[in-house]
Amino acid sequence: MFASPQKIPAFTPPHPCTQLRVLGSERAGPGTVYHWVEMRTKMRIMGFRGTVIKPLNEDAAAELGAELLGEATIFVVGGGCLVLEYWRHQTHQRNKEEEQRAAWDAMRDEVGRLALALEALEAQMQAAPAPSALEELQAQVREVRAQLCARDPQPASPAVSAAKVQEESAQV
């Protein structure tokens, strides 16, 4: 009753990367092109300029093309890894330098702050009169007397306590 529709094969044009027009009217894949370039280069190096290069059969060209595409893929991935590693290293190096620069600036600021504090302390020291050595000794004797009085509230006799004070001042 009903006629089945006929299937029309879809036309798929060859992909431009896999098929190139080389060697006249025949279409050649990457394997054939590589073979043609390699053989032509070898012939020129050996001195045969006008030699015709016999094309590869279809199976050998397909195998060589697959091998080339595999090697190209590995090369691109390896090169990409190298580039990414270089960028990562540069970023790490730049961050490290920025951290060192920040630490250096912080130390420089701290040294400047400490220098100002030192100048202020030196100014205070110059403004205050320097006590003489005798005044320092008298202050130490007063401190020792205060400590002795705190430990020994009832001295035995005034003569003994005067002797102790003289001994202590002689030791100092």
Q: What is the pLDDT of residues 97-120, one digit of tens each?
A: 999 999 999 999 999 999 999 999
Q: pTM of the entire structure?
A: 0.43
> What is the reported pLDDT for 128?
74
Q: Is 24 left (phi over 0), alpha (psi -120 to 50) or beta?
A: left
> What is the reported pLDDT for 168?
64
Q: How far is CA 131 from CA 114, 119, 138, in A?
A: 26, 21, 11
| Lowest-confidence segment of 3-7, 18-22, 141-145, 152-156 by average pLDDT | 18-22
Half-sphere exposure of 55 (CA within 13 A, CB side): 17
pLDDT in tens, 132-164: 778 888 999 999 999 888 876 555 555 556 666
> What is the reported pLDDT for 149?
85
> What is the reported pLDDT for 62?
86
Helix, strand and coil in the chain, % to nearest 5: 70, 0, 30
Q: Is the pLDDT of residue 29 over 70?
A: yes
> What is the reported pLDDT for 156?
53
> What is the reported pLDDT for 20?
43
